[in-house]
Amino acid sequence: MQGRKVAIIGVGMTTFGEHWDRGFRDLVVEAGLRAIQDAKLTGEEISAGYVGTMASGALVGQEHAGALIADYMGLNPIPVTRVEGACASGSLALRQGVMAIASGLHDIVVVGGVEKMTDLDTAAVSEILGGAGDQEWELFMGATFPGLYAMMARRHMHEYGTTKEMLSAVSVKNHWNGARNKYAQFQKEITMEDAMTAKMVADPLGLMDCSPITDGAAAVILAPIEKAASYTKKPVEIVASEQASGTLALHSRKSLTSIEAAKIAGAKAYKTAGLTPKDIDVAEVHDCFTIAEIIATEDLGFFKPGESGPAALAGKTRFDAEIAINTSGGLKAAGHPVGATGIKQACEIAWQLRGEGEGTQVKDAKIGLTHNVGGSGATAVVHIYKQGW
C-alpha cells in the first residue's frame, strides 16, 4: 500500500440487535464515542470522518447522514462524508479513511458504520435491500436476496456436491461463536438439527442459513503508524485495502459458484501485503447466507473450489482450528446492520490481534483479514491487518 502506513488506534461498537428504544443517531454516537475513548482521544485531534450507511433514507427517513453525525458527535466543523456501497458500505468507508491517512491529507480519522433496520417490517426491509441487486432484472421480477443466494447454493451443490449439512455446519459454528460475543444479536448456540429443520426461506436456504435484520453501529479510529504509539500500546496496522467491482445481476456472471470481484480484491490485497492465504490467522468474511461463507473462503484461497463445505463440516473453520472464520459469529449470529458490518469486522480483527477476543480468541493471532460484499457480489472489499507493535 503506497503512502504512509495506517493503523487502527481505537475501536468501539454498540450491541447488535433490535433497538426499539434507540434511534439512528444514538447508535452511531455510542459507537463513535467508544472508539474515541478506546484511542484515548479528546475528539479535538480528529480531522475527518467517513460513515458507511446503505439505506438510512429509506429505512428511517434520514439522508445527509455525514452532517448529522458530525453534529451529534461534536465534530463540527470537520468534514464527515457518507459512503454507500450496499452491504459493503462500512468497508468502503474504512477504505476512504485509509486513503485519507495514507495520502497525508489527514492524520486522525474516525470511520463509522451504522444502520437502523427494525423500524420497518420484514417485507419492507427486504424490498429496500433488494435495491442492492439489479432493480430492473431481479427485484422487479420478484427475486429476493435469499432467492439469489439460493440459486448460488444450488449451483454450488450441483458442481461440487455441497450438501445441506455443510451449509448447516457454517450456521452452527457461527452461532457457537456468537454465543460468546457480548455484542452479538444471537448469543445462543444451535444444533445441527435446529439448522437442518428450520423453516425454509428459499430452497435450500432455511431460516438458520440467513442473516437477520439488525440495528447497530461500529467505529474505528485511524492514524499514521508512526503516531499510533502516542495513543495505544497495541496499534493494528492495515497493510492492504483493496476493492473490486463485478456485475450487478447474477445472469451476467460467468459463474454462480464464485464472486469474481471478491477473488480480485483478495488477490490484490495479498499482493499488496506480500502475504498468502496461508499467512492469515483469523478472518471475518461476509456470511449474509451460509453459502456466502463457503464461497468466500474459496474465493479468498483458504480452500480450493468445492472444499470449503467439507472443511466447515469437519470443523476446520472453528476459532481453534485450521483457519479461524467469523470468530464474532459473523453476519449470521452477530447480526447484519448492513452499513455497520464492514466496520464490525474490522473491530473484531483488531480485538483478535490485540489478544482481546473474548471467548473465541485465536491463539497467537498476528495477521487478520476482512471480506465485505455489497449485494450479491457487485462490490467487494478486502482488508488485511497485522500487529503494529
Neighbours of 123 (CB within 10 A): 9
- DSSP E strands: which ranges in 60-208? 80-83, 109-115, 200-202, 205-206
Is 87 annotated as catalytic?
Answer: yes
Annotated active-site residue 336? The verdict is: yes
- Eight-state DSSP code of residue 210: B
Instruction: Give which of 272, 219, 266, 227 is closest to 243, Cα–Cα.
Output: 266
> Do 167 and 153 meet the contact criterion of CB atoms below 8 Å apart?
yes
Cβ atoms of 380 and 253 within 8 Å: the answer is no
Q: Give dist(CA 241, CA 365) in Å, integer.
A: 19
| Annotated active-site residue in 87, 210, 288, 347 | 87
Half-sphere exposure of 288 (CA within 13 A, CB side): 26
Please tell me which residue in 19, 106, 175, 336 is annotated as part of the active site.
336
How far apart are alpha carbons 122 and 142 in whole angstroms? 15
Compute the chain's Rg from CA coordinates: 19
Q: Which of 297, 225, 284 is nearest to 257 (CA)?
A: 297
Give the distance from CA 299 to its chain's centroid.
16
Residue 241 sits at φ, ψ, to 5 deg, of -145, 105
Would you please indicate which residues are annotated as catalytic (active-site) residues? 87, 336
